[in-house]
Amino acid sequence: MEDGWRKKQSTGYIQRHLELISKLSTTTHFPKNICATMTEVELQLKLDPKGRTISEQTSDSTQTLDYSSKTVLTSLADDSNHILFPEDEEKRTNFLDEMLLDCEITDCALLPRTFWMPAVGMEPRCVLEQCALEVFRHHVKDGIVFDPKTSGAEWWVQIRPSPPAGRHALLPKEDERDAGEVDLETTGICFHWDKDEDLRLAMGGNMYIHPHVSTVTYLSDSGAPTMALNYRVNPFTGEYISPSESESVDAYLSWPKKGKHLSFDGGYLHAAPSNLMQDGAFQEQIKVSDEIKDKDERKKLVRRQRRVTFLVNVWLNYKPFNVEIFPESMMDKMTLTSDEASSILFKDESDGVKYDNCSTKVQTHDRSCKENKSFKWSMGGCGSNESISMDVAVEPIQMQMRDGGNTLLKWNYEAGVGREGVRLIQEGKSIGAGKESQQESSPGIERDEKRQKLE
């Protein structure tokens, strides 16, 4: 590409990574609000074979991040081994109520989509910034080498159903959508990849730079499960990448549970498909009794019973464009940090504190299973010409909803048959099924406004 990316191959780097150098013209690429005062931006990236950003010192690191899909119970969970305010349940409840109100403020449609918390050099000002930094430190252990100037936590919240002033309250209502469209966004999250969204748009829709680790911390027990699949996307072309024939397609499914923390590879496709729930279950979860007349108490119950998630992407050696710290002008409305809650999600693990992984059930696809149910979801929202379909024995999964459990779904490749039960589809074509190609090109800019930063 003439004005795009050129590969630099040098001794010692050919097998390990690509060095990418790009000069981005703000006149032809960047939206005006990104860097209106600049005329040119030079961006240097080093990527490992998985497309992860690395630094010059990465090879000297004695440790690496754990990219596996898993969950742990944070100190906000009622049954955590390291529970917050262990001797005072009322205090813990009130603290979480304040966090839920913070999330509602943060979700305001007038604020940026996501916010930045640097890895070093800045003390958290509010509780949500403190939580973001604790998540970063939980995953980036001592001994992991990274560039402190370009590493940190990108954080935001998702609330379903959306509050009146929330971001997703601005989505088209049911009577405003095209006939036959089912919008996952009103109760769940559409399938997408986490990435530097502004860089992708600037590069014409096909440039995907991912965080190292994506995380979801559930602040309530309600709503759709999160599903993370090991489908990737080519960082330079936007082509889908399916697991090889020797690998299974894996989908890690986590039901919401207050205080549970989910993490997975930042390059994985993921969503929160609400129709995996039983019909009417979400509506029952968020219902507040008409007998509650006190206005303030009713607001608290509404916040507690929504699906509320605190999202943190762990970025190393790269800071996504146009993601800045939470506005100082809004800080007087947030719960500020205090010595009373010196740790919220994760205590200092350098002192020997350990957060064990939650149990996970494994469910391998069996095409003869009578409980299989077929699902098809649009990629990125209504109107997309891309979708993902899968056959799932849904009843065993739904049985785990009450306890906030986890399931690892697996679809194996069978010789002579291919891989049945899961596939990505674009305009009538598919990958990941049968013996078809492992990659398929996906249009970039056409779905720009449908694939914004989500969970």
Tell me the three state secondary structure of residue 190.
strand
Q: Regarding predicted confidence, which is higher, 235 or 31?
A: 235
Nearest Cα residue to 325 out of 184, 168, 156:
156
pLDDT band at residue 23, thresholds of 50, 70 and 90?
A: very low
**CA dist., res. 71 & res. 255, Å (int):** 10
Question: Higher pLDDT residue, 296 or 429?
Answer: 296
Question: Which pLDDT belongs to residue 24?
Answer: 33
Q: Which of 253, 218, 231, 221 is nearest to 135 (CA)?
A: 218
Amino acid 39: pLDDT: 46
With a cut of 80, say whether residue 216 has pLDDT above it.
Answer: yes
40-49, 227-236, 412-421: lowest mean pLDDT where? 40-49
Q: Which of 208, 215, 194 shows the shortest CA–CA distance to 68?
A: 215
**Cα-only R_g, the chain:** 22
How do residues 237-270 score in pLDDT, each as one tens digit?
988 999 999 999 999 999 999 999 999 999 999 9
Q: How far is 328 from 337, CA to CA, in rounded Å?
A: 14
- Over residues 172-198, the mean pLDDT reads 74
b/e sequence 229-247, b meaning 16+ C-beta within 10 Å: bbbbbebbebbbbbbeeee
Angle at 405 between CA 403 and CA 410, to 5 degrees: 155
Is residue 161 pLDDT above 90, yes or no?
A: yes
Burial class (CB in 10 A: 0-12, 13-18, 19+), 113: middle
pLDDT of 380-403, one tens digit each?
755 568 899 999 999 999 999 999
| Cβ atoms of 207 and 200 closer than 8 Å | yes
Confidence at residue 136, expressed as pLDDT on a 0 to 100 scale: 98
Choice among 153-157, 214-218, 436-440 with the minimum mean pLDDT: 436-440
Quickly list DSSP for 419-438: --SEEEEETTEEESSTT--S
**Tell me: the pLDDT tens digits for 344-382?**
999 988 778 999 999 999 999 998 898 899 999 988 755
Q: How far apart are CA 331 and CA 326, in angstroms?
A: 8
Integer CA distances (angstroms), 91 to 108, 137, 383, in order: 27, 26, 46
Decide: 216 and 160 in contact? Cβ < 8 Å: no
Over range 333-345, report the average pLDDT: 96
Share of the chain above pLDDT 90, in %: 68
Prediction pTM value: 0.86
**pLDDT in the model for residue 27:** 30
- The secondary structure of the chain in percent helix, strand, coil, rounded to multiples of 5, reads 20, 25, 50
Confidence of residue 181 (pLDDT cuts 50, 70, 90): very low
Residue 119: left if φ>0, alpha if ψ -120 to 50, beta else—which one? alpha
